[in-house]
Amino acid sequence: MGRKVGLSFAIVSIVFFVFAFSLILPKSALSHHQGKVLGESTVSSQINFPPVTSGAGFILPDSPFYFLDKTFQQIRLLIAFTPESRAKVRQEIAGERLAELRIMLARNNQSGADTALDGLAEEVDKMAISLSEAAASGKDVKELAKEINQTIKSHRDILNSLESQAEGVLKLKFKTAKEALKLSKTNVEDELPEEELEKEIEEGLDDEIDELTEEATGSARRLEHAINVLERLASEAAVKEQLKREEALRHAIEVKNEALIRQQERFALEEEEKQKILLEARVKVVSEARESVKRSQEAAERLKKAQEVVKEAKAVSSESSESSDQESE
């Protein structure tokens, strides 16, 4: 009892200290410069962040006092005496990290968003470890595993939404965090009831197919765009080069320099031959690239159809099982 009272007093004292200093220091000293762009083409504040159920921590990642937030966490974990209690605390902290990510993105704060994303992945990983420790100690953690599994699914759904709206580096960061949560989720699934585990495996396979299909389609679109841009740039370069040659030839004619005229005419013929060779090579490369795009799109379509066939087969199997059960009754 004395230990709990002492820890509670420490928490209250630290909170009062931070609150007092946050009032004294100017707001500009407690935050980084705004307006940073995350990724190559996506401004984070333009992203529509899905609703979150948790609130952010008392101190945000852009505060110089954010290290104290880690201290609060350690205190909360110290008074959680069992692995399952620590898993629940980690669950709450992970929710706070997601809420902090929302705020940091709205502020276009790159380092703050990175801190929140890293913290989210770390807390979810440790949450899964605490759950495994509880199971290893002989505790029945099936209900807690179901709750934590659902929490991770919700967090991954949010990251998936963010990833679909982002481009460049920011998109990669969301994808990396989502994959980290997926690994932690796999460990949590080991503690689920058997029927829940089977369901999660089936849903996981469906998600994998959806992601592969989306990536194949997205890659095809990006490749097609790159081909079109390269074609346009090559065409513009050829036109500019031709104009330079024509200007040089006109100049030679104006100064009536026969040697220079013949030289420019020879250069023009050589340039024409070079452009012809380049055009043939470009046509070949573009043709092969477009064929690759076509194959990627066809592969994505086949994957999608295969997924639909599997779903139909499962539906038929389910209906047959229900009919058999009714007949046996």
Q: What are the domain boundaries of the chain?
A: 29-192, 220-319
Distance in angstroms (rounded) separating the CA atoms of residues 28 and 5: 36
pLDDT at residue number 324: 58
- Look at residue 47 in the predicted model and tell me its pLDDT: 86
Q: For position 223, what pLDDT does the model report?
A: 60
Radius of gyration for the alpha carbons in the chain, expressed in angstroms and rounded: 30
Could you give the CA distance from residue 328 to residue 321 in angstroms, rounded to a whole number? Answer: 11
pTM more than 0.75: no
Q: Block means of pLDDT (10 residues each) for the chain, length 329 residues?
A: 44 43 38 39 75 85 90 90 93 94 93 94 95 92 93 94 89 92 91 83 72 63 61 64 65 62 68 70 68 69 70 67 59
What's the pLDDT score for residue 328? 58
Let me know the angle formed at the C-alpha of 147 by 143 and 149, rounded to the nearest 5 degrees. 110
| pLDDT in the model for residue 325 | 59
